[in-house]
């Protein structure tokens, strides 16, 4: 018997297993990929948006408006968002979300004459200190959200507003 | 708060904090004043949505009250306002329009009428547009706050 001798049965076995294996793999691969997809997906963190150049940020909170894309079903729209941005004593930039944690009004800086240097919500008289901590005894029960922020090429980029623990 | 299911749930839960309603009055017409009706409606919507954004927790933005300018418009609005008032939810009713039509009926309406003539925003670029809207709504906030203040004092 020469070495390349191979029985008809063996030959068929090999080819069928080979081809069958390919087909099975072809079918299974997408399924596995689909099953794993949610895990492999990168964090749904919203992209960072350039909001302002750093020179414009002062120690006093200043309001900056910027636009993000929001998807609602098929409908994509530009939504205006605002941030209160200031420079902390240690030189960090702090960007607070202006959305009141009570029912979602927009808070303003230093507009309540009887409580200067605080964030003030005109709707239900909620107040927050400069670092966004809610003042006890007023309507809101949690501090203002903080934006993910990053400084690149002299510009401040903001991402998603993240909630913090209550005071 | 908007006319959306998500906001409706909040409204059902925390309705006692929401005591104001803002009703946009927007004309509808397909005859000679078609374009101006669209401009007015669009402008009113821009202003009202900005006000809603800032006063989300206390002010309910009603769906647009659309009307054809005929004899029934006033009657229909009156009965709508009657319904809003009788619901018992809203102590402060604000109406917003760019249509001067309502100005002469101001006294007959049970609600504060804001009449802001429409500006031609279609040719403006986005950034400038935002600035204009922001400036335009500023005095309106003051009027709303004053109204709220009055109810505290009285």
Domain ranges of chain B: 5-153
Lowest mean pLDDT among A18-32, A35-49, A117-131: A35-49
Q: Are residues A53 and A72 in the same domain?
A: yes
Task: Return all residues near A142 (Cβ < 8 A) that are at least 6 apart.
Answer: A101, A134, A163, A164, A165, A166, A167
Range B120-147 average pLDDT: 88
Q: Are residues A61 and A142 in the same domain?
A: yes
| pLDDT tens, position by position, A118-162 | 999 988 889 999 988 998 888 888 899 999 888 888 888 888 888
Surface-to-core class of residue B119, CB atoms within 10 Å of its CB (0-12 exposed, 13-18 middle, 19+ buried): middle
Residue A100 with chain B: CB contacts under 8 Å: 57
Q: Are residues A136 and A61 in the same domain?
A: yes
Residue A50 with chain B: CB contacts under 8 Å: none
What CATH number is associated with residue A96?
A: 2.102.10.10
Query: Can you tell me which residue has the tokens 């949610």?
Result: A38
Residue B14 with chain A: CB contacts under 8 Å: 103
Chain B residue with CA closest to A99: the answer is B54
Surface-to-core class of residue A61, CB atoms within 10 Å of its CB (0-12 exposed, 13-18 middle, 19+ buried): buried
Q: Are residues A77 and A11 in the same domain?
A: no
Q: Are residues A83 and A25 in the same domain?
A: no
Number of independent structural domains in chain A: 2
Q: Are residues A115 and A72 in the same domain?
A: yes
Query: Can you tell me which residue has the tokens 């954004």?
Result: B53
Residue A167 within a domain:
no
- The pLDDT, as a whole number, for residue B149 is 86
- Please give the C-alpha separations between residue A141 and each of A96, A162, A165, in angstroms, as whole numbers: 16, 15, 10
Check CB contact under 8 Å for A124 and B130: no
Domain containing A9 equals 1-41
Q: Which of B50, B57, B145 sits opposite A102 (nearest CB)?
A: B57
| pTM beyond cutoff 0.90 | no
- The pLDDT, as a whole number, for residue B127 is 80
- CATH architecture for residues B5-153: 3-Layer(aba) Sandwich (3.40)
Suggest the residue from B19, B53, B135, B151 to mutate for an interface test with chain A (most A CBs closer than 10 A). Answer: B53
């Amino acid at each position: 018997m020469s070495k390349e001798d191979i029985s008809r049965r063996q030959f068929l076995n090999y080819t069928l297993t080979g081809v069958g294996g390919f087909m099975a793999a072809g079918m299974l691969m997408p399924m596995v990929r689909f099953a794993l997809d949610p895990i492999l997906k990168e964090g749904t963190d919203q992209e960072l948006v350039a909001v302002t150049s750093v020179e414009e940020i002062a120690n006093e909170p200043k309001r900056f408006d910027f636009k993000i894309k929001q998807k609602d079903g098929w409908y994509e729209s530009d939504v205006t968002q605002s941030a209160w941005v200031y420079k902390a004593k240690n030189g960090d930039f702090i960007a607070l979300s202006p959305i009141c944690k009570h029912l979602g009004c927009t808070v303003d800086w230093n507009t309540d004459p009887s409580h200067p240097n605080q964030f003030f919500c005109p709707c239900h008289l909620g107040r927050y200190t400069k670092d966004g901590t809610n003042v006890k005894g007023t309507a809101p029960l949690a501090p203002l959200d903080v934006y993910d922020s990053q400084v690149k090429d002299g510009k401040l980029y903001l991402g998603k507003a993240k909630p913090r623990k209550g005071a | 708060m908007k006319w959306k299911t998500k906001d409706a749930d909040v409204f059902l839960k925390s309705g006692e904090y929401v005591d104001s309603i803002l009703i946009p009055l927007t004309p509808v017409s397909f005859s000679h004043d078609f374009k101006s009706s669209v401009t007015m409606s669009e402008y009113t919507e821009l202003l009202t949505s900005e006000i809603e954004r800032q006063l989300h927790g206390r002010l309910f933005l009603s769906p647009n009250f659309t009307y054809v300018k005929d004899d029934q418009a006033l009657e229909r609005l009156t009965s709508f306002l009657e319904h809003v008032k009788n619901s018992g939810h809203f102590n402060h009713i604000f109406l917003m329009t760019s249509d001067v039509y309502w100005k002469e009926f101001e006294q007959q309406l049970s609600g504060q009428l804001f009449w802001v003539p429409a500006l031609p925003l279609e040719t403006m670029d986005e950034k400038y547009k935002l600035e204009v809207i922001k400036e335009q709504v500023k005095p309106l906030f003051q009027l709303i706050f004053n109204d709220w203040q009055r109810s505290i004092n009285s």
